[in-house]
């Protein structure tokens, strides 16, 4: 586990050492997939007051729907929808509340930043395009020194599918921000859960939530938007978003346990608050010791070479150095069954020579009459680099060791592939 703790604003921390925060959705877009979330003018103030009463610290206001198939509105329409509500928020909000503005466009971001900061309100820009739609957005963020919620996207919002592709996109965006000297304490990442594009089936969203801990390698707070989304409907056969509250509660609980720091939601119910509190209480705490200003931290979230590479780069290691060390950081265990005692002994000798080890049955060494029986089990223990070197050594050798090399190589390859998509039997 890697400690994540960011001072987003003075005296406002987000991370492992603070309970997850709720980001209440103020939806001003009648085109949205969840019609029950669209806030009419006459109830806007009441919704805001209810969120504040329930302890919401971030209010997310947006007027553009990005649901698949929705006809896009113009920037002018988006801004005109926002203006009266931004004015209302300026007039009524306590100064410790944060407004996150859900927009992909720099001119709209500038307007909202100016209006809200004039009233000494705290502002975050929530760009679901990952800074890909408007090339001026990144400069607006930096020029105004504004915290940013960066959602993983390639060419349009949420168009990435696998966890690996999402990690890669976020890493590239983070690199761009670092090159422009952006204050990384102000960055929040969002893996982009939801059916943003038709190709993104529900299995991809399940994998994101299941693998959420992988995103900790970026050392930034993690936001998830799960509330009533279509993947819940697909799993539970609930076509109407109104019927997806229980599924939302379950998925959110798992996301918090796996490391989510901010929950973007339409509903802050008592049930959701209690379930998030329990998930946070149960989830693993970082293991850290300190002595005379020196700290030692146990890192457990890095499971694949690609994650190791991203983490090393965030630590300032050169690209070449990261490529050299990434496979050395991942220890893997491989169980081999139905091999002979001579094969087991060769495996142990060869892997020991490369810095790894092999766990074998005591009879492999002590019982002569079993040495040719094909009933042995062994556990290979080594870094990915050591196991790859073992594979190279075994190729072409006798005792059918080349077959074992093929099996080891195949298992290693499968361990690096995107996790098999979930299957749900209705």
This prediction's pTM:
0.85
Does domain 5-285 fall under CATH 3.40.718.10? My reply is: no
- At 313, phi and psi to the nearest 5? -65, -40
| pLDDT at 166 (0 to 100) | 94
Q: Per-residue confidence at 91, pLDDT binned at 50, 70, 90? A: confident
User: Count of alpha carbons within 13 Å of 224, Cβ hemisphere only?
Assistant: 30
Q: Which residue has the tokens 């966890």?
A: 163
Domain definitions of the chain by residue range: 5-285, 289-326, 331-416
- Report which secondary-structure segment, H or E, holds 118: helix 106-118
**Residues above pLDDT 70, as percent of the chain:** 95
| pLDDT at 208 (0 to 100) | 95
Tell me, yes or no, if the two domains 5-285 and 331-416 fold the same way: no
Please state, rounded to an integer, the average pLDDT across all residues of the chain: 88
pLDDT tens digits for range 358-410: 998 877 766 554 555 667 889 999 998 999 999 999 988 888 899 999 999 99
| pLDDT at 372 (0 to 100) | 52
Query: What is 331-416's CATH number, 1.10.10, 3.30.1370, 3.20.20, 3.30.1120?
Result: 3.30.1370
pLDDT tens digits for range 161-193: 999 999 999 999 999 999 999 999 999 999 999
Measured between alpha carbons, how far is 315 from 303 in angstroms, rounded to an integer? 17
Measured between alpha carbons, how far is 159 from 98 in angstroms, rounded to an integer? 28
| pLDDT at 418 (0 to 100) | 47
């Amino acid at each position: 586990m890697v400690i994540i703790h960011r001072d987003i604003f003075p005296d406002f921390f987000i991370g492992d050492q603070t309970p997850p925060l709720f980001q209440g959705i103020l939806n001003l877009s009648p085109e949205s997939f969840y019609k029950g979330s669209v806030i009419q003018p006459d109830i806007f103030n009441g919704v805001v007051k209810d969120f504040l009463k329930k302890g919401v610290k971030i209010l997310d206001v947006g007027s553009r729907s990005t649901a698949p198939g929705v006809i896009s509105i113009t920037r002018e329409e988006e801004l005109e929808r926002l203006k009266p509500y931004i004015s209302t928020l300026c007039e009524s909000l306590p100064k410790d509340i944060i407004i996150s503005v859900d927009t992909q466009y720099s001119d709209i971001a500038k307007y909202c930043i100016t209006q809200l900061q004039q009233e000494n309100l705290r502002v975050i820009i929530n760009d679901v395009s990952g800074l890909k739609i408007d090339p001026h957005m990144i400069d607006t963020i930096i020029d105004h020194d504004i915290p940013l919620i960066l959602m993983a996207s390639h060419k349009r919002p949420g168009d990435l599918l696998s966890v690996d592709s999402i990690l890669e996109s976020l890493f590239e965006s983070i690199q761009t921000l670092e090159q422009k000297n952006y204050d990384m304490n102000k960055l929040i990442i969002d893996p982009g859960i939801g059916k943003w594009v038709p190709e993104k089936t529900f299995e991809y969203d399940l994998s994101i939530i299941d693998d959420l801990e992988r995103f900790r390698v970026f050392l930034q707070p993690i936001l998830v938007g799960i509330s009533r989304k279509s993947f819940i409907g697909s799993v539970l056969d609930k076509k109407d978003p109104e019927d997806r509250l229980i599924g939302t509660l379950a998925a959110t609980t798992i996301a918090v346990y796996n490391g989510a720091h901010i929950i973007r939601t339409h509903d802050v119910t008592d049930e959701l608050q209690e379930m998030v509190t329990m998930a946070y209480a149960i989830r693993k705490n970082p293991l850290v010791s300190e002595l005379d200003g020196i700290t030692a931290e146990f890192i457990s979230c890095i499971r694949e070479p690609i994650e190791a590479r991203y983490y090393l780069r965030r630590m300032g290691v050169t690209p070449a150095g990261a490529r050299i060390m990434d496979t050395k950081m991942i220890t893997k265990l491989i169980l081999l069954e139905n091999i002979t005692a001579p094969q087991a002994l060769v495996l142990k000798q060869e892997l020991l020579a490369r810095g790894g080890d092999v766990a074998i049955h005591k009879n492999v060494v002590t019982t002569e009459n079993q040495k040719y029986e094909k009933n042995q089990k062994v556990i290979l223990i080594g870094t990915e680099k050591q196991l790859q070197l073992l594979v190279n050594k075994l190729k072409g050798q006798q005792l059918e060791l080349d077959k074992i090399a093929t099996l080891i190589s195949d298992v290693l390859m499968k361990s690096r592939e995107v996790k098999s998509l979930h299957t749900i039997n209705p």
